Structure 1
């Protein structure tokens, strides 16, 4: 029998901006990570979350105060999406994982939403105008 590893889940608001990405934790609004690529921003988000969780005083609010209870209502901004960050009990950022969620929908709608998510997480660098051209 495989032993299950306990994981805590934290909701994250992901935003694609003109300069890169911003990830903010829903239940910890002061925790923010910024980066140029999505992968870089996820790495920073894991580090920020780990530092916060490892620094919690022993007599602070229970960990459940920071874990997922609900996701905010859908935002009209097409550059914003939500994900879940899972952390093991030791809060090691190298063991954290980003999980994407899609609501139950017909297959064509799921494909469309997955395509939109893939587009948002793909970094497209702005092309600089060549001054010699």
Structure 2
């Protein structure tokens, strides 16, 4: 039987902006990160989240107060939500982003996944085309 590590989940609001990306944690308004590429922004968001969590009291209830409660819906084409899973040691190198797709027929799932991939990679392609990578 495979061993499992306990993980906490935090909802993240990801937004593509004119200058890159912004990630805010839904239940932690003061924790946000910005970057030129999506990958850079994720890296910064993990660091911000780890720092915030490391300053909480060593109490399960304090941590649970900031973990996932609901995942908001959006109608903005430049905004999507993801889940960030965190190990109990809050190590940003062990954090993982999980993308969310609603239950739907396979064709709709492929369409949504394609839209998400285009949104995440658009900035990187634009930077490469401009010779900025």
Per the normalisation by structure 1, the TM-score is 0.89
**Structure (1 or 2) with the larger CA radius of gyration:** 1
Contact 2:85 2:97 survives alignment (8 Å): yes
Aligned 1:61-80 pairs, distance under 5 A: 62-72=62-72, 74-80=73-79
* Worse-superposed segment, 94-103 or 53-62: 53-62
Distance of 2:59 and 2:112 partners within structure 1: 42
How far off its partner does 1:57 sit?
A: 2.9
How far off its partner does 1:69 sit?
A: 1.0
Higher helix share: 2
Distance of 2:103 and 2:83 partners within structure 1: 17
Q: Counterpart in 1 of 2:86?
A: 87
**Is 2:11 the partner of 1:3?**
no
How far off its partner does 1:19 sit?
A: 0.3
Q: Counterpart in 1 of 2:108?
A: 109
1:51-89, CA deviations, whole angstroms, 9 ceiling, x for partnerless residues? Answer: 0001113469521111001111x2221000000000001
Q: Counterpart in 2 of 1:121?
A: 120
Runs of 4+ in structure 1 deviating by more than 4 angstroms, as ranges, are none
In structure 1, runs of 5+ residues without a counterpart are 129-133
In structure 2, runs of 5+ residues without a counterpart are none
Distance of 1:89 and 1:100 partners within structure 2: 21
Contact 2:56 2:62 survives alignment (8 Å): no
Q: Counterpart in 2 of 1:13?
A: 13
Aligned residues between the structures? 127
Aligned Cα root-mean-square deviation (Å): 1.7
* Worse-superposed segment, 103-112 or 58-67: 58-67
Give the secondary structure class of the aligned counterpart of 1:62.
Answer: helix
